[in-house]
Amino acid sequence: DAGITQSPRHKVTETGTPVTLRCHQTENHRYMYWYRQDPGHGLRLIHYSYGVKDTDKGEVSDGYSVSRSKTEDFLLTLESATSSQTSVYFCAIGSQGIASGANVLTFGAGSRLTVL
């Protein structure tokens, strides 16, 4: 399996606190993605990165920011967590761009976030 790890795997926090989720890959893939998955909504793209310091917004980016200072790390930050951000967050990596026909994603194991 591809080397992609997420941390923390589980987190419970309170409304208004900042939260950072980390995605780390050892595959040297250029493209990294953050999705959230919720019942009734499926997987939705939050932000993605197409290189170090190069990021772009996805479908549900409000309330989230990202940073990528190294190829291997992609951080997702909730500046002030809200209950609506309770979700399972998946990081994914890919060797091709998001619109590429060869864009096969490998997902991390997920981070389960609960905001009280």
**Residue 86 interacts with other proteins (CB under 8 A)?**
no
Compare residues 60 and 81 and give the one whose CB is closer to other proteins. Answer: 60
Cα R_g (the chain), whole angstroms = 13
41 binds other proteins (CB under 8 A): yes
Q: Where are the alpha helices (DSSP H) in the chain?
A: none
Quick one: which of 36, 35, 75, 34 has its CA closest to 52? 75
Residue 115, classed as helix, strand or coil, is strand
Strands (E), the chain: 4-7, 10-13, 19-25, 31-38, 42-51, 54-57, 64-70, 73-78, 87-94, 106-107, 111-115
Stretch of residues binding other proteins (CB under 8 A), selected from 16-24, 61-69, 79-87, 104-112: 104-112
Which residue number, 83 or 100, has a Cβ lying nearer to other proteins? 100
Interaction between residue 106 and other proteins (CB under 8 A): yes
Considering the complex, state which of residue 41 and residue 69 has its C-beta at the smaller distance from other proteins.
41
Minimum CB separation of residue 18 from other proteins in Å reads 25
What's the closest the beta carbon of residue 101 comes to other proteins, in angstroms?
Answer: 4
Determine the Cα–Cα distance for residues 8 and 18; give it in Å rounded to an integer. 14
Provide the binding-site residues for other proteins, judged by CB under 8 A: 33, 35, 40-45, 58-59, 90, 98-110
